[in-house]
Chain A
Amino acid sequence: MALPILLTKGLIILVIFGISLLIATYSTYAERKVAAFLQDRIGPNRAGPWGLLQPIADAGKLFFKEDFIPSQASKWLFILGPSLAMFTALMSSAVIPFGDSIRFAWDNVNYDVNVQGIEINIGVLYIFGVVSLGVYGVMVGGWASNNKFSLLGAIRAASQNISYEIALGLSMIAILMMTGSLSVRQIVNEQATFFEWNVFTQPLGFIIFLTCSFAECNRTPFDLPECETELVGGYHTEYSSMKLGLYLFSEYINMFVSSAFISALYFGGFHYPFMNEVNGALEKSMGAVTGHNLATAIGFLVFFGKILFFIFFFMWVRWTLPRFRYDQLMNLGWKIFIPLSILNVVVTGAGLLYDFKYSSWLIVVVMTVLAVMSQAKAPKQQVVPQRTV
């Protein structure tokens, strides 16, 4: 591999790493601002203009707090827990294609370098594997704290992650069947035309995937591992200082990666309508190298727009929906999502047999009809006139 390619690749990896950290940092700020907006408050506005320096102030606070390790805790595992959580969270962005490719000329040869950490032909499996490892940070930390509430939180996290991973994987399988590839870039490139975005061909899969990623990120309404009404602080009850900070931070990175993954798998990644026309016009007017790079930059921005929307969506849901009860969570995962996603795989496969991509809508339509019918059949709520005494 030529040196310039290696250098560009290294640069891209550094940039992706930096951007994920930056977005995670500012997600904390955004979370508070969104919460404030939804609750008709102002939110952080003291540190810097519009409170923009708030995350840095938070980080400073976390760093200077007392770093406390409980006396009966197993020390190494107590430290390993947050490190693992952060490690797995940062690993997963490696295979997401953030943009098309950067082109540059070297010795009169045009090189194209993908805007992506690494392109492997099992990208989806890689992400799936890393996500399934994410639970170790929570489990190890929760157990090492030597606290009943922490342990319960850890155990909840483990069972929740395992339960929802199955539906998550099954809903992805439908996409893999349509694309015929495990590479995320390939999946993105298959969605070049707007109406072939997987969200249109796989509406049910999208809903299941979205919900399961909420559960995998331990976000409300599925944040039972840290349910403060039952478990004090859940798995991080005993944590303080930057160790707590790492846990919180990894949650935001996970959110960023999930959003990126949802955008890539279901919303066409860096594709946008009329992209080919725009690319063609740019390359014609500005030359093959500059035009191509500019087009890539537009795609990159579009992709980040999608990601930011989903991060906002995560927050929107958090401040709108109440938390599930634990048995409801399990019922939803095992009795509704898994059968539904298996049905989705079957129907998608049957549709592909006859070259029809939109067969998944059949389930959506049938489910909607059933829901409407059961609503119509349900006894109307009677308005009982108040009896006056």
Chain B
Amino acid sequence: MTEFLAFFKTLTPTGYLFLLLTALTVISAMGVVTARNPIYSVLALIATFFCLSGHYILLNAQFLAAVNIIVYAGAIMVLFLFTIMFLNLRREDEEAKTNLTKIASVIVGGTLMVMLIMIFRAKSSQLPVGSTVGFEPNTGMVENLGHLLYGSYILPFELASVLFLIAMVGAVMLGKREAGDRHF
């Protein structure tokens, strides 16, 4: 316990912020999977994205933080919410899960957790420890990111446009109303 308190005393304000954000992230991420109502689940996911953006800002990656909010919280999750609202899943249907599947999943998940904890306890000395010595605080700034994207990573960056084009063509192809289809 005293060890614990001593650890807290060594923290900087940023450290406290990190712990707070981490706790919030984990809590809202748990909310995503435990919420019965899908709408609450989506809202919890949005909260998770916010917390992750907070982490990005702590790492001084402002561009990533803003883009994370714009793309995930601002666009993708709106569409999620949109779809779920259309489906109108308000009756909190209990999914058909037998006790057997529940027990099985608990056993499998529990085994995995125990294994992970054991491995990390045994090998924690091998985990890389981040050091602030080589840390370049401007790495996440938009200028540096731009130089990187349009410099050494230009080829994957441009080829990602093929990915978007393919997704777009597919979405139009699959979503196009055919003759005789209903107007929902």
Contact = CB atoms under 8 A, between A and B. Distances in A.
Q: Do any beta carbons of A and B sit within 8 angstroms of each other in the complex?
A: yes
Interface in A109-155: 120-122, 125-126, 128-129, 132-133, 135-136, 139-140, 143, 146, 151, 154-155
A129 B66 contact: yes
A302 to B, nearest CB: 29
A159 B78 CA distance: 9
A289 to B, nearest CB: 33
A154 B85 contact: yes
Interface stretch (B5-13, B68-76, B93-101): B68-76
A126 B43 CA distance: 20
A122 B63 contact: yes
A132 B82 contact: no
B78 A122 contact: no
Interface string B52-89: 00000000001100110110011100110110011000
Contacts of A154: 85
Contacts of B90: 146
Contacts of A77: 39, 43
B142 interface: yes
| A interface secondary structure, majority | helix
Contacts of B141: 121
Nearest to B40: A77
B140 to A, nearest CB: 10
B73 A162 contact: no
A274 to B, nearest CB: 33
A230 B79 CA distance: 23
B45 interface: no
* B interface secondary structure, majority: helix
Given A133-B74, A159-B82, A143 B39 contact: yes
B46 interface: yes
Contacts of A162: 75, 78-79
A310 to B, nearest CB: 24
Interface string A281-320: 0000000000000000000000000000000000000000
Interface in B13-47: 37, 39, 43, 46
A161 interface: yes
Contact of B82 (A121, A125, A146, A155): A155
A165 interface: yes
B73 A132 contact: yes
Nearest to A132: B74
Contacts, number: 65
A235 B69 CA distance: 24
Nearest to B86: A155
A158 interface: yes
Interface residues of A, number: 26
A155 B75 CA distance: 14
A182 interface: yes
A120 B62 contact: yes
A155 B79 CA distance: 10
Contact of A135 (B62, B67, B78): B78
A129 B74 contact: yes
A165 B62 contact: no
Contact of A161 (B46, B67, B78, B142): B78
A129 B82 contact: no
A259 B82 CA distance: 29
A132 B63 contact: no
Nearest to B79: A162
Pick the 3 closest A-B CB pairs, nearest first.
Answer: A132-B74, A125-B66, A129-B69
24 contacts: A77-B43, A120-B62, A121-B142, A122-B63, A122-B66, A125-B63, A125-B67, A128-B70, A129-B69, A129-B74, A132-B75, A139-B81, A139-B82, A140-B43, A143-B39, A143-B81, A151-B85, A155-B85, A155-B86, A158-B78, A162-B78, A165-B74, A182-B63, A182-B142
Interface of A: 74, 77, 120-122, 125-126, 128-129, 132-133, 135-136, 139-140, 143, 146, 151, 154-155, 158-159, 161-162, 165, 182
Given A125-B66, A158-B82, 20 more contacts: A77-B39, A120-B62, A121-B141, A121-B142, A122-B142, A126-B66, A128-B74, A129-B73, A129-B74, A132-B70, A133-B69, A135-B78, A139-B78, A146-B90, A154-B85, A155-B82, A158-B78, A161-B78, A162-B75, A182-B63
